[in-house]
Amino acid sequence: MQNIQLLDKIAIVLVNPKYPENIGSAARAAWNMGISRLIVVAREYPDHQRMVRLATHNAAHIIDAMEFHEDLGDALRPFSRIIGTTARKGRHRGPGNSPRDIMNIILPLLPENDIAFLFGAEDRGLTNEELKYCQHRSAIPTAGFSSLNLAQAVAIHCYEIFHAVVHEQKEAPRGPKLATSHEVEKMYDTVKESLEHIGFLQEKNHDYYMRNIRHFLGRMELKSKETKLIHAICGTLQSLQLTNERN
């Protein structure tokens, strides 16, 4: 696979963007760097003409081919690594890497995996609920004043992706094929169900433990067979618990 073809493994995902014009500007920024996959997650399909106007005729085809989903989980099903872009800090958000550092992490994975970059709404960014799908956080370093708009944030990340793929790929070792978000989320649902069933998760600690379980397992490069193994272990635990309850 030639280096430039690896850009087809990247998707820009805009979550609840407020203005169709910003989607068009993001499409234009992405296409400048050879990235053609754009996904929008929103309640309603954005106004096509307003998107195309800012995309210009050069990137209008990106808008025409844009994927649209109402549910973020559905939009992320095929992706094996998801990077949430955020400038907000908080004790539940974990540390953020610079876009360049993120490229060093994902570059070896590109030949075998689809990668999604998430961008939140213009006024609030990504929520903690949206960030739960992400294995990594990317924060653009600034000189003390952070006021980048959506298209600028997309452009910076797309440039770093393009630069890494074109100039750094030859030096990167080839990484494994990882489980998809769909497989990982199915695993988390089973883990949660099992822990609830055996009484480990209580109402007062439910969110705390599940958040930490996600952080712990999210740091691992789980393959499909490994998520299925965890799924099977949890199923066995539930079966044993049911047997004990009957006895």
Structure tokens at 212: 């930490």
How far is it, in rounded angstroms, from Cα 168 to Cα 193? 42
Query: For residue 172, what pLDDT is reported?
Result: 59
Residue 1 above 90 pLDDT?
no
**Domains parsed from the chain with CATH numbers:** 3-171 (3.40.1280.10), 181-246 (1.10.8)
Whether 113 and 174 have beta carbons less than 8 Å apart is answered as: no
Residue by residue, DSSP assigns 66-113 as -EEES-HHHHTTT-SEEEEE-----TTT---B-HHHHHHHHGGGTTT-
- Which pTM was predicted? 0.90
Residue 152, pLDDT above cutoff 70: yes
Calculate what percentage of the chain has a pLDDT beyond 70. 91
168-178: per-residue pLDDT in tens?
766 657 889 99
Is residue 10 within a helix (H) or strand (E), and if so which, with residue range? strand 10-15
Instruction: Tell me how far the alpha carbon of residue 166 is from its chain's centroid.
Output: 22
Positive or negative CA dihedral for 209, 230, 227, 76?
negative
- Looking at residue 88, its pLDDT comes to 61
pLDDT band at 167 (very low <50, low <70, confident <90, very high): confident
What pLDDT score does 91 carry? 52
- Looking up tokens 């005729």 gives 57
What residues are paired with 81 via a beta bridge? 115
What's the rounded Cα separation, in Å, for the pair 232 and 224? 12
Mind listing the pLDDT tens digit for each residue in 33-81?
999 999 999 999 999 999 999 999 999 999 999 999 999 999 999 999 9
Q: What is the mean pLDDT of the chain?
A: 90
pLDDT at 201 over 90: no
Q: Dihedral, CA atoms, 122, 123, 129, 133, nearest 10 degrees?
A: 20
Q: Which amino acid is at 151?
A: A
Write the pLDDT tens digit of every residue in 92-144.
445 579 999 999 999 999 999 999 999 999 988 999 999 999 999 999 988 87
